[in-house]
Amino acid sequence: MFENHKAPEADKILRVMKMFAEDTRADKIDLGVGVYRTPEGRTPVLAAVKQAEARLLESQETKGYVALAGDPGFHGAMRDLALGDAVAAGRVAGLATPGGTGAVRQAFELIRIARPEAVVHCSAPTWPNHESILDTLQMPWRSYRYYDAATGGVDRDGMLEDLSQVAAGDVVLLHGCCHNPTGADLAPEDWSAIAETLLKAGAVPMVDLAYQGFGLGLEEDVAGLRRLASAVPEMLLTISASKNFGLYRDRVGVLLAVAETPAVAAPVQDTMAWLNRQAYAFPPDHGARVVTEILGDAGLRALWEEELAGMCGRVRSMRVALAEALRAETGHAKFDFLLGHHGMFSRLPASPEQVAALREAHAVYMIGDGRINMAGLVPDNVAPAARAIAVVLE
């Protein structure tokens, strides 16, 4: 069976993680891996999570299965957090999944069942796993213009022109906020223009929401998403709780499918539950239960929102510090585009050769396409990181 087997190419992020771990230089800087970290380099367990887990430890009397689709209470809590009152609850089918990646995978599986001929349109660039999963499923996909490397912002005209050519029944994949890997987000008016364009084309939006609360704030980060949801008859929404709840290893995700009517949503709900059965049967529940506990308790929610605002503030402060340090090193504002980005990531205008030079000569690690994670910066390493970037990229 395995004598002629060849392993797939190693994931580029995992490859960078391995190289960083094996680097013995004391001054190495990790801007590659996409997780939040404290100034001490830890990915913390939030106090709100600890308190919620303590309550569950005392109150839970069973670890029996919940349901194939997961806990409806969790679906509702995440629906309210992301969509608010933009869509009537009866129109939304929910599916608990192992992380946001599981939600993306199940969303693609649902598309393949509901409309096998649909092409999925991804932003250029997008999170690499989007394209990788589509390729694994042998589903057709294309890129639409999104990031303007010259300005560090969104190519609005190019994006809307490309989306106007999308075929009826196709799916357009959008990032809800904190675009990964560029950090360049859609403006409120962009969401309205996209809604109008997709309605005219007859295409279905799919929104990947992995970083709510890490951009401008919990409500601000989903204002555009809600505007879109209220304007279109159908939508897919994949949500991760890894970042904003710090539940990376607990794998907490949800897929929400917005249908035109509750009657249409019902068979979609059944199909989604069936998809879970074919993949891993019952989804994990511990992390989902923690999230539901936090969102359903005023005190825990207030504590969580305070902690999330602190994480967001730290990332934003490092973004500002890096832009200012680069301005000081170079004597110009070439890197000020970083200040207009949101969330943990930005994309430097670095070639693969320059990325390699930063790693080999300066012990500064980032992804090969120039993506950097602002949470990898601390006050002590901002200046050396900026100095290395200026030397290599200037």
> What is d(CA 131, CA 8) in angstroms, rounded to the nearest whole number?
15
pLDDT at position 68 is: 96
Cis peptide before 262, with omega less than 30 degrees from 0?
Answer: no
Which of 69, 195, 210, 350 is an active site residue? 210
141 included as an active-site residue: no
The answer to whether residue 243 is catalytic is: yes
The helix or strand, by DSSP H or E, that contains position 235, with its residue range, turns out to be strand 235-240
364 DSSP assignment:
E
CB 381, CB 40: distance < 8 Å: no
pLDDT at position 18 is: 86
pLDDT along the chain (394 residues), means of 10: 85 82 90 87 94 96 94 97 97 97 98 97 96 96 96 96 97 97 96 97 97 96 97 98 95 97 97 96 96 98 97 96 95 94 94 94 91 93 95 90
**Which has the closest alpha carbon to 348: 184, 157, 174, 186?**
184
Q: What residue has token string 């509702």? A: 76
CB 359 within 8 A of CB 321: no
What residues pair up with 29 in beta bridges, in sequence order? Answer: 364
H/E stretch holding 274? helix 262-279
* pLDDT at residue 394, rounded to an integer: 79
Evaluate whether 57 touches 73 at the Cβ level (below 8 Å): no
Residue carrying structure tokens 């199940």? 106
Asked about 297 being catalytic, the answer comes back as no
- Pairing, β 141-145 against β 147-148: unpaired
Question: What was the pLDDT predicted at 6?
Answer: 87
pLDDT at site 113: 96
Active site residue 12: no
Name the catalytic one among 77, 221, 241, 243.
243
The catalytic residue among 185, 208, 221, 285 is 208
Tell me which of 93, 107, 118, 127 is the catalytic residue: 127
